[in-house]
Amino acid sequence: MNRVEKSQDTYIKLFGDAIPAAYATDPDLQDILSRFIFGEVFHQGSLNEGQRELITLVVLAMNQTLPQLRSHVHAALHVGLTPIEIKEAVYQCAPYIGFPKTLNAIAEVNEVFKARNIELPLESQRLVNEDERFEKGLAAQIEIFGEVIRQNREKAPANQIHIQDFLSSFCFGDFYTRGGLDLKTRELLTLCILSALGGADSQVKAHVWGNLNVGNKKDTLIAAITHCLPYMGFPRTLNALQCVNEIIPEDE
Please say if the pLDDT value at position 7 is more than 80: yes
Q: CA nearest 34: which of 21, 47, 50?
A: 21
**What's this model's pTM, rounded to 2 decimal places?**
0.96
10: in domain:
no
Is 210 part of any domain? no
Length of the chain: 252
d(CA 122, CA 241): 36
Residue 252 has pLDDT above 70, yes or no: no
Q: How does pLDDT run across 44-85, given as a tens digit for each residue?
A: 999 999 999 999 999 999 999 999 999 999 999 999 999 999
Helices assigned H by DSSP within 64-200: 66-78, 83-91, 94-97, 99-115, 133-145, 148-155, 161-166, 183-197
171 part of a folded domain: yes
Angle in degrees, CA 40, 45, 48, rounded to 5: 95
The verdict on residue 161 lying in a domain is: yes
Whether the pLDDT of residue 32 is over 70: the answer is: yes
Residue 165's domain comprises 129-177
Residue 251 has pLDDT above 80, yes or no: no
Tally of structural domains, the chain: 1
Q: Is 12 part of any domain?
A: no
> Could you tell me if residue 50 is inside a domain?
no
In a domain, 96, yes or no: no
